[in-house]
Structure 1
Amino acid sequence: MASESPFAVQLGTNYCPKDNEVLEIQALLVEPTLRLKNLDDEIAELQKAIDKLVEERDSLGVYVDAHKALISPARRLPLDIIQEIFVACIPKHRNCVMSASEAPVLLGRICSSWRALSLTTPRLWASLHIVEPPRGRYGSSNTLVDGKVVQRVDTMKMWLGRSGQCPLSISLQSGPDYESPPGTPTTSHSKSGEFLQGLIPFVGRWQHILFRTPSFILDEMAHLTPADMPMLESVAFYPQQNHFPLRGLNWESFGMLSGPRLTSFSTTGNNFKPESLPLRWQQLTALTIEGPTWETSMTTEATLHTLSQCSGLRSCRLIVDDRQSAPTANIEFLHPAVELPFLHTLELDFGTVVSSLLDRLSLPQLRDFAFHGRANGIASFLSACTRLECFRIASNSFTKASLLESFRALPPTMRHLTIQDITRGGMDISLVPPLDDDVLAALTPAPRISACCPLLETLTINYCTLISDAALLRFVTGRMESASGSEATLRRVDVQFNRRMVLDVMPTLQPFVDETELDVDIQYLPPVSTQFSPWQGLADAPSAWGFPAEYPVW
């Protein structure tokens, strides 16, 4: 219609019509305006009919949906199946928290029948993580914190009261007191005793316990005996101390640690005194000693002596510090080599002093090994671990030569390699950062050259600095193309570069991602804006780092 108008050429322009043309345009619009009104009226009538149909459809939909709900599969599930589904919703890697955003509390907020079922399923309430509110932080008053403590103690008792006769898994996290000076038991810490007193009635069903509380609170448990805790299987004690000098626990009085079912023990390095612990070492399957290496008194010799008593260990995490050990003049005084025939997971931190521990360990079943610090014989140790599948290291524990030697010593069973590429603050500041293109080349297949770890499935490198994008591209393409018709083993490459992108490798790798199960996640530092801002110096200037315009300028 616009093309039929005598003013078609002027339409959509800034043309200003003359007086006689204005009259002509007004006459021209009489019939189209009337037609437009008629169309609006027709649309309104049709819209009324549509609205009536929509209303009828919605009413019928409510009727149908309500009846479909009666025959939904969820309503017809047997109660025991629903209970098993509920139990499967419980976190497996930690205890449940007092929150309505996850199971088991969330399950009781779906409908009344599910609530009744969840409240009568004891297994849902057999694990609990308890947090003591911190005092003197975020402006919270003592009255407010005291009220929160009472509320959580009551909730804790009600929660565990629903667990029937199930064995219990409990973790208690005490909040620090930001108001009281170091050195004395505080009002806040005395509240930890309220949580402990609330837990004592359930002590006969404690199976797994983890307490991060002040030392004197743990001392209140010293009177408990194995007879009081017949189900106890794992203990983790991490004493919190806000005074100096640090006071260790009096382990001799903790008779509970000699229970016949206790197989797992964890504590901090500054509290680990094996000579005073009443543990049944031969029945331990898990031993964890955490913390910075400078807080432990465990030397290589002391560690070997302890491990020699733990022949049943399956997993172990230790810190070792040889700074205080005197040189041994006679080799006859060294502890003999120790074999742990069942150990499959080991994590060691040696700190800054070279240790000979690996030279004197025999671990025929080792599958997962994490290592940090300085140690002799790492390559020979790795070559003896013929079933190793997972190796996790920090690059500053090696020189470039020793890292290459270690990679070449890895057994062909290796499937997962994780490297923290620490290029600063290493064990020796004179060392050149070891992880570079040459080291990655040892893992990269090439014509007539076999690469280390032929069955490698995942490579993870964090804070990578010296490896180039081109070397990473060669590694991935070499791994994927070396399969020679068979299925490639490489499944995931996860690299976090501590630099900016030089070469975009994803277009080349995209066919592997699309056609195979390869998962590639490569991250770089974001580019810094080089824009010369005309707003510089103004309070509302947009930031080159992506902060909002109203972000304060300092």
Structure 2
Amino acid sequence: MSVKIAPLLLGRICSGWRTIALSTPRLWSSIHVPEPYAKLPQYVRDGCLQLMKTWLTRSGGLPLSISFHKRHPPGSSPFLDTIVSLSSRWKHISLSGQNRIQLSRADVPILKSIEVSDYVVGDGPTETRDFFCGVAVRKVSIGTDLDPIQLPLPWAQLTALSLHRPSDPHLFSQSSLTSNLSSSTALTILAECRSLCECTLFLSPSADETIAPPSSVELPLLASLKISVIACGGSLLQQHDPLDRLLLPQLSSFALTGYRANPVGIPLSTLVSNATKLQNVEVDTTFFTRETLVTFIRLLPPCVQHLILRQNVICPNAPSFVDNDFLLLLTPPSQRVDGSDAGFLFPELDTIQLIYTAAFSDEALLGFIRARMGVHRLGRVRVKFLRYVERDILPELRSFIDEFGLSVSLE
């Protein structure tokens, strides 16, 4: 509730603007509420509560978009109680902290999207806490240490799903890097989500793998898939991972992030090789050896336009595989100084970002950019090196920057 930003800022321009702002309910139909610290004087907390109620009153009867962050300790909150009393008007709700919501699906008739960072089971019968299954709910993002397959979610009607770990460390049952979602459980859940367009999964090798997943799952509408893994041990995302059975004909954006110690095989090779419409790819190189990374890149379809290769900060001393020879894979054969005629990957590449993975020279990067600009103009090049500058190549790229709008960031 800052007076430096809208809508409060609009009331400080002049009396005319203030009148318009106060009489325009749509300006007040979104609000973020961080609950004040418990140690603050009661009159301060009471004042904040009254401000929130005034803000919400100005929204009239419009649908509400609300985010609420509750600090420790857990317990009742007059702020949350006020928000819950308006549940029939919820359109988007985001909750973080240990909030136990006692609402049924009938209490949220227009609710479309839910984000809960730290989901815990509330008291009372199931039917009084199944607001996740509201008739209009289409997007759900939930962080929990509970078994995801037991969550009260309307899988079949979801178009966006995110299953991640809790943000509150007090809720972790094992360690700060674990979740209860395995590849087998994830595939079993996805088999029920035929309407999905976007999906984000946080996987852990410590999760239960006793479920027998389906032999294959096709999600005909899924366009974006993000998988995050912290696998310091175990067999997660090996050569024949259950998630490699996904068939995603409309997939255009894929991300594999996290950390994998002692990588073996090519993770999700079948999934990406069958994704013929893939345009945006982001992967962490700690999932690969040099050989498997090259093979993985060659499996990607030629229509890739945005490529991000990063090295997770958990393992800053891992070897970098993106060297001079690797850049040649992305260099047009007619422009190569070594005369090699190996296949040319991603002819429509627009953006390349190499984050802490660069093992090539500044001279090789200059040659790569020049070669690509001579065939298909790059829009953005971003490289984060783990070394000092060898040669300042920006002056030699100035013509591309000025004439074609090339964005270059070298750190």
Shorter-chain TM band: 0.7 to 0.9
Q: Write the distance in 2 (CA, Å) between the matches of 1:254 and 1:143.
A: 31
Measured in 2, the distance between the counterparts of 1:316 and 1:169 equals 22
Contact 2:194 2:220 (8 Å CA) reproduced: yes
Q: Is 1:349 equivalent to 2:238 in the alignment? A: no
Q: How far does the alpha carbon of each residue in 1:69-91 deviate from its partner, in whole angstroms, 9 at most, with x for none?
A: xxxxxxxxxxxxxxxxxxxxxxx
* Counterpart pick for 1:336 among 215, 232, 238: 215
Structure 2 CA distance for aligned equivalents of residues 260 and 319 of structure 1: 26
TM-score of the superposed pair, with normalisation by structure 2: 0.86
Check conservation: 1:458, 1:491, Cα contact below 8 A: yes
Aligned to 2:77: 193
**1:443 — aligned with what?**
330
- Contact kept? 1:443, 1:453, Cα under 8 Å: yes
Q: Residue 370 of structure 1 aligns to which amino acid in structure 2?
A: A
Contact kept, 8 Å, 1:125 with 1:163, in 2: the verdict is yes
Asked whether the equivalents of residues 358 and 377 of structure 1 are also in contact (C-alpha less than 8 Å), the reply is no
Give 1:469's aligned residue. Answer: 362
Query: Structure 1 residue 321 and structure 2 residue 321: aligned?
Result: no
Q: 1:326: how far off?
A: 5.7
CA contact (8 A) 2:187 2:217 kept: yes
Alignment root-mean-square deviation, CA: 2.5
Q: Distance in 2 between matches of 1:449 and 1:475?
A: 15
Structure 1 pair 403–311 and aligned structure 2 pair: CA distance change class (3 A): same
Q: Distance in 1 between matches of 2:147 and 2:366?
A: 46
Cα distance in structure 1, aligned partners of 2:178 and 2:379: 40
5+ residue gaps, structure 2, are 167-175, 335-340
| 1:278-335 CA distance string (max 9 Å, x none) | 322110011111238843222222111100000001111111223355689xxxx552
For 2:43 and 2:245, locate their aligned partners in 1 and report how far apart those are by CA, in whole Å. Answer: 55
Question: Within 5 Å, which residues of 2 pair with 1:37-436?
Answer: 98-135=1-38, 142-144=39-41, 146-176=42-72, 186=73, 189-190=74-75, 193-214=77-98, 218-219=99-100, 221-222=101-102, 224-239=103-118, 252=126, 253-275=128-150, 277-291=151-165, 294-325=177-208, 334-352=213-231, 353-355=235-237, 356-372=241-257, 373=259, 376-422=266-312, 425=315, 432-436=319-323
Conserved 8 A contact 2:146-2:180: no
Deviations 1:447-497 (A, max 9, x none): 25542111111111223452321221122111011x2xxxx3311111122
Q: 1:418 to 1:148 in 2, by over 3 A?
A: farther
Q: Distance in 1 between matches of 2:345 and 2:210?
A: 37
Distance 2:310 2:193 in 1: 30
Q: 1:479 to 1:249 in 2, by over 3 A?
A: farther
> What is aligned with 1:526?
none
Give the gaps of 5 or more residues in structure 1.
Answer: 1-97, 136-141, 177-185, 241-246, 524-554
What is aligned with 1:516? 404
C-alpha separation in 2, matches of 1:341 and 1:111: 53
In 1, Cα distance between equivalents of 2:313 and 2:80: 45
Partner residue, 1:50: none
> Given that residues 321 and 357 in structure 2 are in contact (C-alpha distance below 8 angstroms), is that contact kept between their aligned partners in structure 1?
no
Residues 195 and 371 (structure 1), Cα distance of their counterparts in 2 relative to 1, 3 Å cut: same
Query: In structure 2, what is the Cα distance between the partners aligned to 1:360 and 1:368?
Result: 17
Summarize deviations over 1:199-243 as a string: whole Å, max 9, x none.
1332110111111122xxx22x22x12222111111112228xxx
**Change beyond 3 A, Cα 1:112–1:327:** closer
Instruction: Identify if the C-alpha distance between structure 1 residues 325 and 211 changes in structure 2 by more than 3 Å, giving closer, same or farther.
Output: closer
Q: Which has the higher strand share?
A: 2
Q: How far apart, in 1, do the equivalents of 2:215 and 2:140 lie?
A: 24
Question: Compared with structure 1, are the counterparts of its residues 390 and 462 closer, same or farther at alpha carbon in structure 2 (3 Å cutoff)?
Answer: same
User: Is the 8 Å Cα contact of residues 395 and 435 (structure 1) preserved in structure 2?
Assistant: no
The one-letter code of the counterpart of 2:79 is F
3-state SS of the aligned residue for 1:270? coil
Greater relative CO (CA pairs within 8 A, separation 6+): 2
State the Cα deviation string for residues 333-388 of structure 1 (Å, max 9, x = none): 55221111101111102332332034210111111111025575533322211111
User: Which structure's residues are more often helix, by fraction?
Assistant: 1
* In structure 2, distance between residues paired with 1:466 and 1:442: 14
Amino acid in the other structure paired with 2:275 = C
Gap change, CA 1:470 and 1:421, over 3 Å in 2: farther
3-state DSSP of counterpart to 1:265: strand
Give the % identical residues: 33
Q: Secondary structure at 2:301's aligned position in 1?
A: coil
Relative to structure 1, is the Cα distance of residues 227 and 380 closer, same or farther in structure 2, using a 3 angstrom cutoff? closer
Q: Hey, what does 2:378 align to over in structure 1?
A: 490
Distance 2:243 2:343 in 1: 28
Residue 489 of structure 1 aligns to a residue in which SS? coil
CA distance in 1, matches of 2:80, 2:355: 41
Distance 2:67 2:313 in 1: 37
